[in-house]
C-alpha cells in the first residue's frame, strides 16, 4: 500500500518553519551555496539557479561553470564568485574539473549541480566519481547531472552526500529504465522506487508534485511523502526547473533538512507561478526569471497566511 502524502499548504508549512539566521549572523552563517551549472550555450541556467538560491535566503554564493560561460555568468550575477572550469571541445565539463570542484565543495553548506550543463560520457563519469566522494552535504542533482547515475548509480547512492534529485518525467524514466508514460501514470509509486534506489529525497514534478524522503522511508517512518497541488501550466517553461533547483539548494544551505528544503522549495516555486498568473490575468507568458522576485515575499507570507 502506498503511503498517504502530507498535503503541502501554508498551514502545514507554519508547523514546519524554516531555519532563521540570527541578527548577529554574517553571510557565512546564512549558508554557503555552490552552484555547478551552465555552459557556453546555456549560461542562463546557471544564472537562474544561482539567483534563486540567493532569493531563498542563502548568504554566500559560488558558481562553478564552464570556461566559455564564466564571463557571462560573472557579469550577470555580480553577487557571486564565479569559477571557470575546464571544458571539453564540445563545451561539457572536462575530467580535470573534478579537483577544483572537490575543493569548492569542501567549503559549501549545500550544492546544486546540473542546470545547463551539457551531457557527455566524460562529464557523467567525472560527476559520478565526484558525487560518490562528497561529504555529508545536501546536494541537489538536476538535469544533466542526473546522468551521473548512468555511469555508476550504486556508487553514487552509497556516498555520504544528502542527495535531492529533481527529475522531470523523461529523466525519471531514464533513471528507472521504463517508459515516460509509466512515470506519468504512476508518479508516486515510481517516485518511491527511485527515492529508495538512490537513497535520496526525490521530487517528482507534475500537476501534482510528490516529494519523497527515501532515507526516511528506509527507516519505516510514516511522514516521508508530501504532495503539492499549487502551481499552473505556466511553470512548464524554459528555465523553470533551474529556478526550482536553486530555491531548494538555497533553503538547504540555510540549514533546512533535504526533505524540508524540497517540500518548501516545491511550494515556493509553485506559489510564485500562481502569483504571476494572477497578476497578469492568466498562466501563460510569464518567464522563469520572473519567479525569482516572488520568492522572498512568499517565504514570509507562506508561513503566515491562512490555508
The full 3-state SS of 112-154, as one line of letters, equals EECCCCCCCHHHHHHHHHHHHCCCCCEEEECHHHHHHHHHHHH
- In angstroms, the CA 223 to CA 174 distance is 27
Handedness of CA 173, 120, 197, 48 (dihedral sign): negative
Q: Answer yes or no: is 12 within a domain.
A: no
Strands 81-85 and 110-113, bridge-based pairing: unpaired
| Whether pLDDT at 26 is above 90 | no
- In angstroms, the CA 270 to CA 268 distance is 5
Q: Answer yes or no: is 25 within a domain.
A: no
Q: Answer yes or no: is 89 within a domain.
A: yes
How much is the pTM?
0.96
Q: Answer yes or no: is 88 within a domain.
A: yes
Q: Answer yes or no: is 265 within a domain.
A: yes
Number of separate domains in the chain = 1
CATH code assigned at 256: 3.40.1190.20
Give, in order, the Cα–Cα distances in Å from 213 to each of 113, 154, 204, 260: 19, 18, 11, 9
Give, in order, the Cα–Cα distances in Å from 195 to each of 85, 93, 189, 245, 268: 30, 27, 10, 17, 22
| Whether pLDDT at 307 is above 50 | no
Q: Answer yes or no: is 17 within a domain.
A: no
Query: Which tens digits make up the pLDDT trace of 42-93?
Result: 999 999 999 999 999 999 999 999 999 999 999 999 999 999 999 999 999 9
Q: What is the pLDDT of residue 23?
A: 78
- In angstroms, the CA 243 to CA 300 distance is 18
- Give the mean model confidence (pLDDT) for residues 232-258: 97
Q: Which residue has the higher pLDDT, 152 or 32?
A: 32
Give 287's contacts (C-beta < 8 A, 6+ positions apart). 237, 239
Q: What is the pLDDT of residue 221?
A: 65
User: Strand order in 162-165's β-sheet?
Assistant: 6-7, 225-228, 209-213, 201-204, 162-165, 138-141, 110-113, 32-36, 60-66, 81-85
Q: Answer yes or no: is 18 within a domain.
A: no
Q: What is the pLDDT of residue 306?
A: 39
Q: Answer yes or no: is 6 within a domain.
A: no
- In angstroms, the CA 138 to CA 254 distance is 11
For residue 164, report the phi and psi dihedrals to the nearest 5 degrees. -125, 115
List the domain range (segments joined by +) for residue 259.
31-302
Query: Which tens digits make up the pLDDT trace of 76-87?
Result: 999 999 999 999
Amino acid at each position: 500500500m502506498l503511503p498517504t502524502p502530507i498535503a503541502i499548504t501554508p498551514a502545514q508549512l507554519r508547523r514546519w518553519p524554516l531555519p532563521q539566521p540570527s541578527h548577529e549572523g554574517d553571510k557565512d552563517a546564512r549558508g554557503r551555496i555552490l552552484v555547478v551549472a551552465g555552459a557556453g550555450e546555456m549560461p542562463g541556467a546557471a544564472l537562474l539557479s544561482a539567483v534563486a538560491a540567493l532569493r531563498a535566503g542563502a548568504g554566500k554564493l559560488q558558481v562553478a561553470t564552464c570556461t566559455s560561460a564564466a564571463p557571462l555568468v560573472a557579469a550577470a550575477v555580480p553577487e557571486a564568485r564565479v569559477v571557470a572550469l575546464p571544458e571539453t571541445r564540445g563545451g561539457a565539463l572536462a575530467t580535470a574539473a573534478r579537483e577544483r570542484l572537490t575543493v569548492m565543495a569542501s567549503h559549501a553548506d549545500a550544492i546544486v549541480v546540473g542546470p545547463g550543463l551539457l551531457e557527455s560520457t566524460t562529464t557523467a563519469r567525472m560527476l559520478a566519481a565526484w558525487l560518490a566522494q562528497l561529504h555529508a552535504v545536501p546536494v541537489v542533482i538536476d538535469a544533466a547531472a542526473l546522468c551521473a547515475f548512468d555511469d555508476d548509480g550504486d556508487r553514487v547512492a552509497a556516498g555520504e552526500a544528502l542527495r535531492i534529485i529533481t527529475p522531470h518525467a523523461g529523466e525519471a524514466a531514464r533513471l528507472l529504465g521504463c517508459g515516460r508514460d509509466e512515470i506519468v501514470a504512476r508518479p508516486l509509486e515510481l517516485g518511491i522506487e527511485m527515492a529508495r534506489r538512490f537513497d535520496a529525497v526525490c521530487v517528482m514534478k507534475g500537476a501534482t508534485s510528490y516529494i519523497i524522503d527515501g532515507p526516511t522511508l528506509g527507516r519505516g517512518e510514516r511522514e516521508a511523502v508530501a504532495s503539492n497541488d499549487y502551481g499552473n501550466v505556466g511553470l512548464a517553461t524554459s528555465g523553470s526547473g533551474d529556478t526550482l533547483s536553486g530555491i531548494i539548494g538555497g533553503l538547504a544551505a540555510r540549514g533546512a533538512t533535504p526533505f524540508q528544503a524540497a517540500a518548501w522549495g516545491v511550494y515556493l516555486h509553485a506559489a510564485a507561478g500562481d502569483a504571476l498568473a494572477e497578476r497578469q490575468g492568466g498562466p501563460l507568458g510569464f518567464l522563469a526569471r520572473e519567479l525569482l522576485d516572488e520568492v522572498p515575499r512568499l517565504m514570509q507570507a507562506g508561513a503566515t497566511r491562512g490555508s
